[in-house]
Amino acid sequence: MAAPDTGWMSSHLALVVLELVGIFVFAISGALTAIKKDFDAIGILILAEVTATGGGVIRDLIIGDTPPAAFRQVEVLLVPLIAAVVAFFAHPVVERLNFTVLLFDAAGLGLFCVTGTLKALDHGLGPVQSAALGVTTGVGGGLLRDVIARETPALVQVNTDLYAIPAMLGAAAVTVAHRLELPMSVAAPAAAAFVFAFRVVAMVRHWTAPRAWTRRSDASSKRA
């Protein structure tokens, strides 16, 4: 039986470039958060690095791939540094391109949740664990960013457009494709594209996750 094609990303230059673009945009979002919080230059750099690499570092530590890739590949650390410098000097312009940044953020989310799932599968984790680790890779950096900035994480705010749910579905699709031994050179980019499209539609239409169910009588008594 042929081994699943899980090594597609390492040989595909376009996806490597996209991953670095995703790292850059995640770092921009961290740097902008630091600027809004009036952090100094060091704080801006730290928040950019944590946002861009936090999810991947958590993933690598969990699966035992140490040192984490962020500390083996110098470009993974340099790209957030460049993003922090750009945000430091050009943040008024970057902030005006907010929706464009969100589009790249959605692309990064799709790619990272897929590659995170694939890496977990490659290290022998089960499908559920791999999907969970893929989601962690995609959303972990933003979660750490908000905690460091002393904000309620956007991931759990009731008014946040769907973020984790698209990542969950994309990661689950990768595990199903892996189980069915579908070619990952096709299935993985398709899953990433699905996450991207779902996230963009959720932003445009302001879809949010459901809140706790409340009986009509309880809701009426609260309004009374």
Q: What's the CA gap between 86 and 95, in Å, rounded?
A: 12
Which tens digits make up the pLDDT trace of 90-115? 888 777 777 777 787 788 888 889 88
Range name among 2-16, 33-47, 67-81 with the lowest pLDDT average? 2-16
Read off the pLDDT band of 219 (50, 70, 90): low
What pLDDT is attached to residue 11?
Answer: 40
Read off the pLDDT band of 6 (50, 70, 90): very low
202 alpha carbon, distance to own chain's centre: 15
What residue ranges do the domains of the chain occupy?
12-209
Q: What's the CA gap between 191 and 211, in Å, rounded?
A: 27
Range name among 22-26, 48-52, 156-160, 172-176 with the lowest pLDDT average? 156-160
pLDDT over 70 (residue 220): no
Range name among 46-60, 85-99, 173-187, 188-202 with the lowest pLDDT average? 85-99
Q: Which two tokens stand for residue 77?
A: 């650390």
Q: Which two tokens stand for residue 91?
A: 């943040």
Average pLDDT over residues 59-68: 90
Which tens digits make up the pLDDT trace of 121-158? 988 899 999 999 999 998 898 889 889 988 888 777 77
Q: Identify the H or E element spanning 143.
A: helix 127-148
Question: CA triplet 135, 79, 130: central angle to 5 degrees?
Answer: 20
Read off the pLDDT band of 9 (50, 70, 90): very low
Average pLDDT over residues 22-49: 89
pLDDT over 80 (residue 179): yes
Residue 220: helix, strand or coil by DSSP?
A: helix
Read off the pLDDT band of 216 (50, 70, 90): low
Which tens digits make up the pLDDT trace of 70-91? 888 888 889 999 999 998 998 8
pLDDT over 80 (residue 27): yes
Pairwise pLDDT comparison (94 vs 62), residue with the higher score: 62
Read off the pLDDT band of 14 (50, 70, 90): low
